[in-house]
Structure formats: C-alpha cells, structure tokens
Amino acid sequence: MVTRTLVIGGTGPTGPFIVNGLRERGHQVTIFHRGTHEIPEIPDDVTHIHGDPHFTETITEALAGHTFDVVIASYGRIRLIAEALAGRVGRFISVGGFALYRGFSNPRLLQPAGLPALVREDQPLADDETEERFSMLIAQTEQAVFRHHPAATIFRYPYVYGPYQLVPREWSIVRRILDGRTRILVPDAGHQLATHGWAGNLGHAVLLAVDHPEASAGRSYNCGDLDQYSINQIVEIVASTLGAPLEPVAVPWAVAGSAKSLVLGSRQHQLMDLFQLRTDLGYTDALPAAEAIARTARWYADNRPDASVEERMADNFDYDWEDRMLDQAGASLAQWRNVARQNADGTPYEPERQLSRTASGKAFLPHPYAHPKDVGQATDHRGR
C-alpha cells in the first residue's frame, strides 16, 4: 500500500531533502505551498497544491477532497494547519523553531543571564507575552499541535543553512571573498557559538520520525548539526573552500553594526542538546558540518543571490564604512564609536539599508517569511 504524504512547504532549504527522502521511501508525495517560486530539485512526479497555508479558510479550500496518511508541516501557520487536519491524518509531523525557550531572545530574564549549554527539551518555555512574545507564540503553537494531534512529532529547528535560505549568513562571507576583500569584521572576537543545521541534516532528522513513528510519537526534538563552529571557524572554512584569504578582525559588539549579521541574533551562546534525538531516533549527521558549510559556500559562490535576498539581510556591505572600522583594530571603544558614527568627511553615518519601523517608531528587521495577516496579501510585516 502506497503511503500518501503531504509536505506543507517543500521549496525552502530543507524541502527538497524531505520530499526526495520520502520518494526514496516509496511515498506518494504532494506539496502544498503558495507557488511563488519553484525549484528544480522537486521532481515532476510530485503533485503541487497551490494555496495559502496561513488561514483556516484557504487551508480548508486547498485541501478539500484530499486525504493523506502523513503530513509534514514546515511552512505556514502551523497551529491552524494542525486544527484543520485534526482527525484527518494518521501521522502529523511539524517544524517549529528553538526560539521558544524562555530567555532565548531576552537573556536577562535568566540568572545568570543566558541559556545554559546545552539546552535540553525540558528547559522552561516562554509563557509571558510581556517578556518574549514571539517565543511565547512558538511555544503555544507546539501546545496547539499536541492538542489536535497527541501523537505528533515536532522538530525545533535552529538557523538553517544551505541553498534557498532567505537570509543566508554565509553570503556575508562569500560575497566579501568574491569582491576581493581580505578582512572581515567579527563581533566579540568571533567566539560566539550557536546551534546551526545544514538543510540536509535537518531533513534527515525529520525523515527519521517518518521511519520511527512509535519512538517519536508525542515528542519535541531539538535538532541541528552534531558539530558546531564559532564565527571565526566558519569564516576560515568558507575562505579555505573558496581558496582566498579572509582574516577575521575583532570589533566590539557595541559598534559592530552590520557585522552582527554573522551572529544571527543574541551574542550569548545558544547550544542545543541533541541527546534525545540521538537516543530515540539514532540521529547522526548525514553530512559532517565542516563539509556542509563548505558545500554551502560553493553553492552561493556559483548561485549569487538576487537583490531581494540582500535587502532582507542585516548586512549592507558598506565597504567604505568597514575600511574605516578595520583601521581601528586595537583602538579604544570611544575611538571605535567615533568612527562608527561618522562618514569620512565627519558627517553622521547613515547606512544605506535602514531597519523597518512600526507605527510607533520601533525599529525591527522584517521577517523573511511571508506571514500575511489578511487573505490575499503577499506579505505583511507591519507591527512586528
């Protein structure tokens, strides 16, 4: 009997690995996505349902008349998808984020400040909107999934690297090498560590839940690469892969500006414990992290992202400003601040790419995914 499996998403970084892994297992695969872009890694024998997975009415409309044995929900509003499919599927697997832990986005909530290393799945989750609203919403989504599908499996993704990443941190390094840069600013001496995951490794983890439904039923798993590298080490791997010198130059966090894009958020270490994933499902990396980073670097060197990708990045590639900052290596923080705030002629420095702002004037980086608030919108990031 053929297993009919629906993948919600399918064209992002992990999508091709999940879709093709299912096909290799003999599944009949359908992907449900908005259809805004297609990728060559999805074969022609995969059925496409085009619709918006962000609203109950559009989810219901798109999936009317369809039945599936397994659903892997990696895109859209997962809590609405879980509700719409309650009682209609035998196996529900979903993907969320590991930003749901209390103190993830606001380390000062914890004493001492910052998450422990390693962070286990039983670490307290965010539950107070006034403290960490985004993290609380992720935690509530997990609760909604288990309410509608008690035997579900949830994967807590870290930063995903590989092709088709909407905000590819690796491009900050690769582009500088392609542009002939020989030095790169790194905040806090480049020593920050956070769990990342190559798309193929994360897809492999999800497929293990397909292979082991009983062992993974009712569980939430941290996931990511087994080996994690510091920012300096990632720069070294990318530079070695592309055969070019690129020296990391330490810059104080307070004046790091767009160099903070390499850190992807908090300057605190954020390392996840993968013991449960390894114990329950026998997880090991499909590709070692160093090789995966190198493969990612080569892909971006050969497939330059378009302008829309750079617009989403916190890195504005302002080399004039960078050169002035690089010349301050070893200077006092006060000297760093003066250079960071001024152009070469002494006028106030204003980076080309400004943060977006809410109606109240609060600055924020637009979320890379659509998250429309009304049916029919392409995207809506207002009020974040």
Query: For position 358, what pLDDT does the model report?
Result: 42
Can you read off the two tokens belonging to residue 198?
A: 């190559």
Backbone angles phi, psi at 157, to 5 degrees: -70, 145
52 part of a folded domain: no
Residue in 184, 161, 183 with CA at minimum distance from that of residue 295: 161
Instruction: Name the residue with tokens 């060559």.
Output: 40
Around 85, how many Cα atoms within 13 Å sit in the side-chain half-sphere?
A: 34
* CB-based contacts of 148, cutoff 8 Å, min separation 6: 82, 83, 85, 86, 92
55 part of a folded domain: no
Written as one string, the DSSP assignment of 67-79 is --SEEEE-SS-HH
Query: For position 266, what pLDDT does the model report?
Result: 76
Q: Beta-carbon neighbour count of residue 205 at 10 Å?
A: 27
* CB-based contacts of 335, cutoff 8 Å, min separation 6: 328
359 part of a folded domain: no
Query: For position 335, what pLDDT does the model report?
Result: 80
Domain range holding 128?
Answer: 90-353
61 part of a folded domain: no
CATH number at residue 348: 3.40.50.720
Query: For position 342, what pLDDT does the model report?
Result: 81
224 part of a folded domain: yes
Can you read off the two tokens belonging to residue 183?
A: 């030095």
Query: What is the residue type of 326?
Result: L
Rounded Cα distance, 162 and 167, in Å: 10
30 part of a folded domain: no
Residue 187, sorted as left (phi over 0), alpha (psi -120 to 50) or beta, turns out to be: beta
Report the C-alpha dihedral over residues 69, 73, 74, 79, rounded to 10 degrees.
Answer: -170
57 part of a folded domain: no
Q: Beta-carbon neighbour count of residue 383 at 10 Å?
A: 10
Residues of the chain with pLDDT under 50: 354-364, 380-384
Angle between helices 231-242 and 169-178 (to 10 degrees): 40
The model scores a pTM over 0.75:
yes
State the total domains in the chain.
Answer: 1
- Chain centroid, CA 372 distance in Å: 18
Query: For position 374, what pLDDT does the model report?
Result: 65
Q: Beta-carbon neighbour count of residue 373 at 10 Å?
A: 12
Query: What is the residue type of 361?
Result: G
2 part of a folded domain: no
* Tens digit of each residue's pLDDT (9 = 90 or more) over 312-325: 888 889 999 999 98
